[in-house]
Amino acid sequence: MVPLYQAKAEFFRTLGHPVRIRVLELLGDGPKPVRDLLSDVDIEASSLSQQLAVLRRAGIVTSSRDGNTVVYALAGPDVADLMRAARRFLTGLLASQSDLLDALRDEDRSDQPAVTGAVV
C-alpha cells in the first residue's frame, strides 16, 4: 500500500502541466466535447489527446461518446473545488506581493531628493 503522502504527491504531479490545468478549469463549467477543448486550449490535437489520457488514467476526468463526439467531464465536483481553491490561494499570494511591490515603490520615491525648482 502506497502511503497517503506519496499518493497525494502523484496526484499533484498529474496536475503539474499547464494544459491539464487549463482543461480542468474549462471542464469546471461542465462537460465539453474535445473539439471545444481543442479550440479553447489552442494546441495540437495529438498533444491535447495525450494530456486528456493522463487525466483519464488518473481518474480525474471521465469521457463518454455521443455518436462521433467524445465528451469529457470532471470525475467529481472536488476537482472544480480544488481549482477554485488554487485560484483563491494565488489571488491572495499575488495581492500580498502587489502590496509589497507598492511599499517598495513608495520607499524608492521617499528616498529621492525633492525637486524644489527648475534651473534656467
Q: What is the pLDDT of residues 21-52, one digit of tens each?
A: 999 999 999 999 999 999 999 899 999 999 99
- Cα-Cα-Cα-Cα torsion 78, 84, 87, 93, nearest 10 degrees, comes to -80
Place of cell 469521457: 63
Residue 18's H or E segment, with its range, is helix 18-27
CB 75 within 8 A of CB 61: yes
Give the residue ranges of DSSP H helices in 44-76.
45-57
In CATH terms, 1-108 corresponds, of 1.10.10.10, 3.40.50.1000, 3.80.10.10, 2.160.20.10, to 1.10.10.10
pTM confidence score? 0.78
Domain ranges of the chain: 1-108
The C-alpha atoms of residue 18 and residue 26 are separated, in whole angstroms, by 12
The C-alpha atoms of residue 81 and residue 78 are separated, in whole angstroms, by 5
Q: What is the pLDDT of residues 57-89, one digit of tens each?
A: 999 999 999 899 999 999 999 999 999 999 999
